[in-house]
Structure 1
Amino acid sequence: MNLDVILSDPDILGGTPVFQGTRVPVETLFMHLEKGVSVAEFLDDFPSVRHEQVVQVLAIAEKLFSSPNFRQLYESAA
């Protein structure tokens, strides 16, 4: 898993996590998925994001949510 898929740089959208090499916030992917937008449609809407980047971000999310420390991660973010 490539953790370099997400970039948080204060000079790019004020440090909002974006897909590396783009100005597309990672949160935008999850907002689209929540609304029932397919990954293919997301990629059509944001052509600067590569399919591999979406797959890697989803793999990172899966690891976070399946972590035995999920409760601790959740509580620290709240």
Structure 2
Amino acid sequence: MAALDWSQCPVVESVPGRRSGAWVFRGTRMPVATVFENLEAGASIEEIVEQFHVTPEQIRTVLEFAARSLDPPSVEVPTSTSNDARSL
């Protein structure tokens, strides 16, 4: 994942001396990268919440911020129903 400027995300902070200044959830030592690593490994948001003691809202805010920060290609994605997707 490309490095994002997390400075405008309200639920994270970078504190010198805490996790080497990595972006962490505000008031915690949990790196933001941990969310993405766990999702990539197949964990659900609920599992991350239970294991790392952050709220679903914090995770949602981080995911939404990351999605808005990415520069998506200008490709039109067709909408389909789940039945249509299975026929591909």
Normalised to the residue count of structure 2, the TM-score between the two structures is 0.68
Which structure has more relative contact order (CA 8 Å, sep 6+)? It is 1
Give, in whole Å, the separation in 2 of the partners of 1:3 and 1:28.
16
Q: Percent identity?
A: 39
Taking the aligned partners of 2:44 and 2:71, their CA distance within structure 1 comes to: 23
In structure 1, stretches of 5+ residues that fail to align are: 69-78
Find out whether 1:20 has 2:26 as its counterpart: yes
- Counting matched residue pairs gives 66
- TM-score relative to the length of structure 1: 0.76
Tell me the residue number matched to 1:71. none
Q: Find 2:44's aligned residue among 18, 29, 38.
A: 38
RMSD in angstroms over aligned alpha carbons?
A: 1.6
| Unpaired runs of at least 5, structure 2 | 1-7, 74-88
Runs of 4+ more than 4 Å apart: none
| Letter in structure 2 aligned against 1:56 | T
Q: Quick one: distance in 2 between partners of 1:39 and 1:61?
A: 15
Q: Which residue type is aligned with residue 5 of structure 1?
A: V
Q: Say which SS state the counterpart of residue 46 (structure 2) adopts.
A: helix
Tell me which protein shows more helix as a share of its residues.
1
| Greater C-alpha radius of gyration | 2
CA shift at 1:3, angstroms?
2.1
- The answer to whether structure 1 residue 64 and structure 2 residue 65 are counterparts is no
